[in-house]
Structure 1
């Protein structure tokens, strides 16, 4: 399949998308580029943190690594949790309500699709608003853990000039005295309910994502460079089914040569215009 690359204005590309999507069931895969207009940087764009994300083996084996992680995660959480859904999130929610798309598979951990009104969301890499105990499996709301972190480490809340990463982390260099909350049930190790570096996407979660693609007629990939294997596997599943694949992203992706259409532009603009042209404008305005 040859990709049609559209730069600058995207009207011609949008018309091609409308023709390809109209009357078909659409599954959507989103990446970090969908959330950049909400103030959350992507992994490669301007403002992205250059630090290495937390590796699960370090987190499990090293109390110091857990101190470093929770210090940065706590400092970043306030800014991360205050991010609001942007026009792209709202457009996807409106298209779902209009029956245009079947649902969203998100590689992001910010929860903005649900907050925008999307009902069928597969959080491929988890969500930062949940915390789990690795010992007993108890689940906690993130806000309660953050309150405890603030009471144990009030000085962290005074830090300024932070650089937020896509996963909500911040590089905090002074973390030797950070006190980490423990599970209130078994005193076990707490971890955000997200997939760290070195972890696999749970089979049940990937199965839900694969089922969504299987039921669809078109796969729309928005804001993802497809650098993560889970996203590429879903693209390959669509290709095996001979489904049209649409990619909307600023910059090159690993799936460009396999796309039916590639629009090189911002996701907010493209998804907003797509929602309007497909007749979801009334719902889109109601959600806003």
Structure 2
């Protein structure tokens, strides 16, 4: 049994990221500002249930589209199909550094931004000291573009001076071959596929469902709303993952009928 869950992809592709210093400044300024809140996120009941199903041998390979490593925190060891924001990679020489190291470099280059983030967390949003930052209800950070356009410096690769980007698959990018091959192999050889919290809209996800179907493996999905793979799914549970997966864990298994 395999599973993945989807948390969306980045809206701008690597090509734009490389060509446009404005795009890089906008991305890294917002990402830097929101990092403290982002890394405080904790796994939910669905993450823990999946990790437990792995430990008892009910889930053999987990493939996730999420880039937040909450599955890792819950105890899983997934194939990260779309990479992780916890790593930063140089697009020129391939050097990889941790996100925490990158955050420190940004802080050193932009000391006023660190103070601005402190100001935001102290409840003084919108002030000149906070660069006009506003915390949105969904956790995102809004920043007046005049601040990140004029007063935000981005670190370059310490090895070659190249462009650094989060080690994730951005919109329009291809999944790295080794990662894709690992996920495909798991899909071809699974005895059943469980899709968790995903509409399977990306081709990288749909391809795995199609491979499992072609290998005659039954497919179940736990998701609110339709999915791209509905025509080949034999068991659909229209509910929240956090409600269903703990029940599956209690039962010890989930019977998935073959599609007729």
Aligned to 2:143: 172
Normalised by the length of structure 2, the TM-score is 0.84
Q: Return structure 1 stretches of 4+ with deviation > 4 angstroms.
A: 168-171
Residue matched to 1:75? 33
Q: Deviations over 1:55-110 (max 9, x none)?
A: 21110111111111111111222111111111111111111110111021001100
Q: Map 1:15-26 onto structure 2 (within 5 A).
A: 26=1
Structure 1, 146-155 or 196-205: larger mean CA deviation: 146-155
Q: Secondary structure at the match of 2:209?
A: helix
Residue 114, structure 1, aligned to residue 72, structure 2: yes
Indicate the SS of the match to 1:193.
strand
Equivalent residue of 2:33, what SS? helix
SS of equivalent residue, structure 1 residue 101: coil
Provide the C-alpha distance between the structure 1 equivalents of 2:165 and 2:184, rounded to a whole number of angstroms: 26
Decide which of 84, 87, 103 is 2:42's aligned counterpart: 84
Count of residues paired in the alignment = 234
Q: Is the 8 A contact 1:226 1:253 kept in 2?
A: yes
Partners of 2:137 and 2:175 in 1: CA distance: 24
Q: Which runs of 5+ in 1 are unaligned?
A: 1-25, 33-41, 44-51, 280-288
Q: State yes or no: 1:96 paired with 2:59.
A: no
The equivalent residue for 1:205 is: 179
Matched with 2:246 is 272
* CA contact 1:54–1:69 (8 Å) conserved in 2: no
1:128 aligned residue: 85
Cα distance change of structure 1 residues 216 and 193 upon mapping to structure 2, 3 Å threshold: same
Higher relative contact order (CA 8 A, sep 6+): 1
1:93-142 Cα offsets, whole Å, 9 max, x none, are 111110111021001100111111013x1100000000111111111010
Contact kept in structure 1, 2:189 and 2:215, CA below 8 Å = no
User: Equivalents in 2 of 1:55, 1:250: separation in Å?
Assistant: 28
RMSD after superposition: 1.9
Q: Distance in 2 between matches of 1:152 and 1:108?
A: 29
Q: Which moved more, 1:183-192 or 1:143-152?
A: 143-152
Q: State TM-score, norm by structure 1.
A: 0.76
Q: Deviations over 1:1-47 (max 9, x none)?
A: xxxxxxxxxxxxxxxxxxxxxxxxx1112222xxxxxxxxx68xxxx
1:148 aligns with 2:121: no
| Partner SS for 1:130 | strand
Q: Determine the C-alpha separation between the residues in 1 that align with 2:137 and 2:68.
A: 13
CA distance in 1 between counterparts of 2:135 and 2:88 reads 23
